[in-house]
Structure 1
């Protein structure tokens, strides 16, 4: 059975709906998108080069190796800045995990370590260049927009990272240079953030989060002649970086001193005996 309604009731309902719609429109007009919501990442690319880690045995004192590069670049659009504000947009990176062991047969091993990270006192440590905290660098890695501006600002920020260390052929706490290095193991993990920071208020906007990892294992036969001792066991190709669907917050340690290079310590851990500090932290 169909019920009918008085025309006056339908008229009243239409008036209510109309006013609600007008109210929504007015609300949208009165509350434009905030600056925070208007910064747009137009394009983001990240990768680790496909070439394997290369090994250099040119020196009779140290073995050197060079890992493939991690790379990240982003095209960013910054809307007009109405106020006298300065925003810096760029890359911040932190190390979340580090294993870096060099084994010398049955003598023991040397190990580059980050004590606070190793002991679980902090979740991550800054991987800044050590000068431009908290940024990874200040050339291609960042761009600064000084307000007020009338137009959108479009630009690209990029960074790259890899390892190129030297490992002594002989035991690092010995005066002897007799080759005894037998293997190298390295496994490090990083989080890299694309970030916008207000220089006056320190307001920090995380625009994108990337995770990546670098692993390698090198087997060494110290009995073989120089130039023929070391072989890369794994991996031939690194895992590709992961762009997270949901951004992660930046730990406070990733924003301040010390950075990983200044905080790391080289330890000698003999098979028998107490550990020895070979190179203390700079910071």
Structure 2
């Protein structure tokens, strides 16, 4: 994408004067919008003797956009951008300690959020149904659809993550993540964009595990099985630079083993690793 995402070129809806064609911005209409989390409980899978798996309900967002006429020399993109603002993901192993998936730059306050881009098409969440390219000339209004979905399907080791054994010691899983999701239109030629709609959503769950029970009967969801639905904000939130550039969530996360009788140990390091990020 090069310098399309230069620091000075971004604009939220409240400051759309930086977008050269304000008539285009005023003419973009959200014809239909559906943003929700599937109303079903997190599913637990104990079929593996090595790991416990669980699958959360899907966050789904779709929009139908009515885009105004554009000239021959204009190109626009409309799509979804998402960033994580908070993550607490602890897997407890009784008296031994707990493992934790973390975003070090969030923990230290170095960044207020981390991009949830696919890692290839910054800042967009994806490059298929998640974004659409609109090229001029378009003498009439055109209709476009963009959609995205997100859920979590992690594997948590029954034994502590530094062990090569398969002994069941896992006793509890707690996960709490928060996100901003934006529907955005961007002028490709000058890199300016406008936020059309802003959402906040959260995935929070807790699973209790009895490692003394037989495989297939150990884990139970003890948090509310009904997910809290996304919140459509009345006022759009500006997208900070850190949500538009690398690193993205998948490459920034780190798995740390925090023993009750020792120092934190990095089990899976992020691509950009700095020991000072790891909090005691």
Structure 2 residue matching 1:81: 3-state secondary structure = coil
Structure 2 residue matching 1:145: 3-state secondary structure = strand
- For structure 1, the 5+ residue unaligned runs are 1-31
The alignment yields a C-alpha RMSD, in angstroms, of 1.1
C-alpha distance in structure 2 between counterparts of 1:33 and 1:246, whole Å: 19
Partner of 1:273: 262
C-alpha distance in structure 2 between counterparts of 1:253 and 1:140, whole Å: 24
Structure 2 residue matching 1:262: 3-state secondary structure = helix
Whether the 8 Å CA contact 2:60–2:148 is kept in 1: the answer is yes
Stretch deviating more after TM superposition (75-84 or 53-62): 75-84
Matched, 1:100 2:62: no
C-alpha distance in structure 1 between counterparts of 2:161 and 2:113, whole Å: 28
Whether the 8 Å CA contact 2:72–2:135 is kept in 1: the answer is no
Of 65, 70, 93, the match for 1:76: 65
C-alpha distance in structure 2 between counterparts of 1:33 and 1:181, whole Å: 56
C-alpha distance in structure 2 between counterparts of 1:227 and 1:165, whole Å: 17
Matched, 1:85 2:77: no
Partner of 1:111: 100
Residue deviations 1:175-228, cap 9 Å, x none? 322110000000000000000111121111100001100000000000100000
Of 44, 48, 53, the match for 1:59: 48
Within-5 A mapping of 1:1-283: 34-283=23-272
Which has more radius of gyration? 1
Residue deviations 1:123-178, cap 9 Å, x none? 11100111111110111111110112111111111111000000000011123221
Deviation at 1:83, TM superposition (A): 4.3
Whether the 8 Å CA contact 2:88–2:177 is kept in 1: the answer is yes
Structure 1 residue matching 2:164: 3-state secondary structure = coil
Deviation at 1:34, TM superposition (A): 1.1
TM-score for both structures, normalised by structure 1:
0.87
Whether the 8 Å CA contact 2:251–2:270 is kept in 1: the answer is yes
TM-score for both structures, normalised by structure 2:
0.88
C-alpha distance in structure 1 between counterparts of 2:22 and 2:170, whole Å: 60
C-alpha distance in structure 2 between counterparts of 1:66 and 1:114, whole Å: 21
Partner of 1:24: none
Partner of 1:3: none
Structure 1 residue ranges, 4+ long, deviating more than 2 angstroms after superposition: none
Structure 2 residue matching 1:258: 3-state secondary structure = coil
What is the number of equivalent residue pairs in this alignment? 252
- For structure 2, the 5+ residue unaligned runs are 1-20, 273-280
C-alpha distance in structure 1 between counterparts of 2:271 and 2:22, whole Å: 46
Structure 2 residue matching 1:253: 3-state secondary structure = helix
C-alpha distance in structure 2 between counterparts of 1:81 and 1:124, whole Å: 34
